[in-house]
Structure 1
Amino acid sequence: MGIALGGIATVDPVIQSNPIFFTAVMAGTIIGSHAPDFDTILKLKNNAVYLRHHRGITHSIPLMIFWGILISGLIYLLVPGLPFLNIWIWTALAVFLHVVVDIFNAYGTQAFRPFSKKWIGLGFINTFDPFIFSAHLIGIALWVLGADPVKTFLTIYVLIFLYYLKRFWQKKVLERKIRLSFYNVEGIFTSPTISQKIWRLAITTEDKFYVARANDGNIQIVDQFDRMPVPNNELMRTAKLDPNVDAFLSFSKVYRWEQTEYDDYTEVRFIDLRYRSKDHYPFVAVVNITKEFKILKSYTGWIFSEQKLQDKLLIEDL
């Protein structure tokens, strides 16, 4: 998308005719289109910090402005004399486009901070969408072959806009079918897959959690659980004090919980129901708590086998 915006920027004759100015704008749009995800570095600290902040403040309204100024300012320092405002406009547009695109997948973003910390994930475009990705590759190839970049990418973006409308309509049709098929529906969480026909679904009713799969509009329940509120007892209050569990609960929109008693400790597990993959729920938060209500070990994140999870929770010298 950064390259596409750099191509569209050539609508300005000055950018088109000045190789240095063009290079500066292209650098701004490419870096700007990645800037909000620089928070990925937080994963080096731990999963809880990453989970709590990824797509949070770095995708907020103030940071959208900040990224544009920072990147444009650095480019201007490296190549003084270029029109700063023009570089900033295209760089800021690249940042804005990144954040807007993130809103449409299931993971979502806190794009309205500082006015609201609510996660916005509309859930009708896959995090990696083959159509959108291929459309950009085709546009870049046509540009390399000599096509006008402005006309090429504007045409592609009109097609992508229509594609978004199509996926939005598909989601609405699916939601309407779910509400007709289930009693007392309180929440519907959709996760599109790479396939245009297949959607992952998590459905909340008054007393049940349903995990389902829609294939070409046909809804199949693959799991269901009784909807049990988290008890207000000392064990759960201790679990919620753990940073990993706290980060998970701040992000997860639909989850169930379970606890398992062992000789010396109790395992409390919170399981997000939106990301079922190959009969497994990879996004979890787990905490082990002693009988004296002390936290021994905890973990949160995406993990795809029970053995790997237990390796991370290995406790010595209980």
Structure 2
Amino acid sequence: MDTGTHIVMGIALGGLATLDPAIGINSPTTQAVMIGTIVGSQAPDLDTILKLRNNAKYIRNHRGLTHSIPAVILWSILITGVIYVFFPECSLLHLALWTTLAVVLHVFVDIFNAYGTQALRPFTKKWIALGIINTFDPFIFFIHILGILVWAVGGHQGYTFFSVYVVLIGYYILRFIMQQRIFKDVREKFEDVERIIISPTIRFRQWHLAIMTKDQFFVARVVDSELVVLDQFERVPVPQTKIIRAAEEDENISAFLSFSPVYRWEVDEYTDHYEVKFIDLRYRSKGYYPFVAIVQLDQDLKIVSSYTGWIFSEEKLRKKLHLLPE
């Protein structure tokens, strides 16, 4: 989820914690737990600082190790320990339990996005992305805001946020049912479907789809239960030529390939250089595919320049990276 939603979830969890008899409404433990749930709900996204290095590092590692099982344990111990130093009179056990729950909830809700996490590391590095909830879901965010407002005007924080989460459980179930209906519709309309990658949008009844069949890729969307195919590509395996192998050595290309499950590729040869480009088919905006990886190599197959990330026009890509002209 986005940072704002994780913050309000942390506040909500701190309010819910007041139903714990050991915490109560106003005590040192209450204050410590509120801090623990807010910080714990943010901690796994510390890897966002990798953006300061480069996009390749960020793409390869975001929601990876910091969202793994060992990280959940370490975040919980570290945050609990630091807070306990400042609130030694609080209940260490309950502080640890609610802080851990906040960290676990962060990782858990991220699984429902199309981006996903590597939540089962170290057992597997597979990305778990259920594609049920958009990274920012207006309903989830604003029902938390509503709960906070009810609390602010005197409502009981524990019962308020208990009600919020009961509603959200129903909401997640509804979204799951909607998604399964789309899967069923796709399998009825397409033959030899091997994989369906679904990305919910910020709009409740609109979804993006990347459909892999035996021989083709289909890019589609669902609006108000109507499935519309937007693009269709032949499914051509990436050839292991000298140019491709050289390109795959580049950090940006390898990061893209480690993350993207469905893409098409292009290789262009110019007078003095080669250009290899991979285009993620999960994301489509106004007829353009903005998530790409590109590398340019000279005649000796040495990397001249490269990039991976979000870009919304070829002109901006080349200006930003000073790539060689076509």
TM value normalised by structure 1: 0.97
Deviations 1:63-99 (A, max 9, x none): 0011111111111122323222211111110000000
Corresponding position: 1:99 with 2:107: yes
Gaps of 5+ in 2: 1-8
Residue 242 (structure 1) aligns with = 250
- Give, in whole Å, the separation in 1 of the partners of 2:324 and 2:278: 23
Residue 128 (structure 1) aligns with = 136
SS class of match (1:247): helix
- Give, in whole Å, the separation in 2 of the partners of 1:79 and 1:139: 27
Contact 1:299 1:312 in 2 (8 A): no
Q: For the aligned residues, what is the CA RMSD?
A: 1.3
- Give, in whole Å, the separation in 1 of the partners of 2:166 and 2:149: 18
Corresponding position: 1:57 with 2:65: yes
1:2 to 4, 10, 28: 10
- Give, in whole Å, the separation in 1 of the partners of 2:14 and 2:75: 17
SS class of match (2:24): helix
* Aligned residues between the structures: 317
Residue 170 (structure 1) aligns with = 178
Corresponding position: 1:16 with 2:24: yes
Residue 81 (structure 2) aligns with = 73
1:315 deviation in Å?
4.4
Residue 149 (structure 2) aligns with = 141
1:63 alignment partner AA: A
- Give, in whole Å, the separation in 2 of the partners of 1:292 and 1:217: 51
1:19 alignment partner AA: S
1:304 deviation in Å?
1.6
In the TM superposition, 1:1-318 aligns within 5 A as 1-315=9-323
Once the two structures are overlaid, the 10-residue window that deviates more, 20-29 or 268-277, is 20-29
Deviations 1:187-243 (A, max 9, x none): 101111111111111111111111111111111111111111000111111111111
Contact 1:68 1:91 in 2 (8 A): yes
Deviations 1:17-48 (A, max 9, x none): 54332111101000000100010001101111
Distance 1:259 1:313, change over 3 A: farther
- Give, in whole Å, the separation in 2 of the partners of 1:312 and 1:52: 21
- Give, in whole Å, the separation in 1 of the partners of 2:318 and 2:20: 57
Residue 6 (structure 2) aligns with = none
Give structure 1 regions of 4+ aligned residues with deviation exceeding 3 angstroms. none
1:290 deviation in Å?
1.3
- Give, in whole Å, the separation in 1 of the partners of 2:21 and 2:228: 55
TM value normalised by structure 2: 0.94
SS class of match (2:232): strand
Gaps of 5+ in 1: none
1:279 deviation in Å?
1.2
1:53 deviation in Å?
0.6
Once the two structures are overlaid, the 10-residue window that deviates more, 302-311 or 78-87, is 78-87
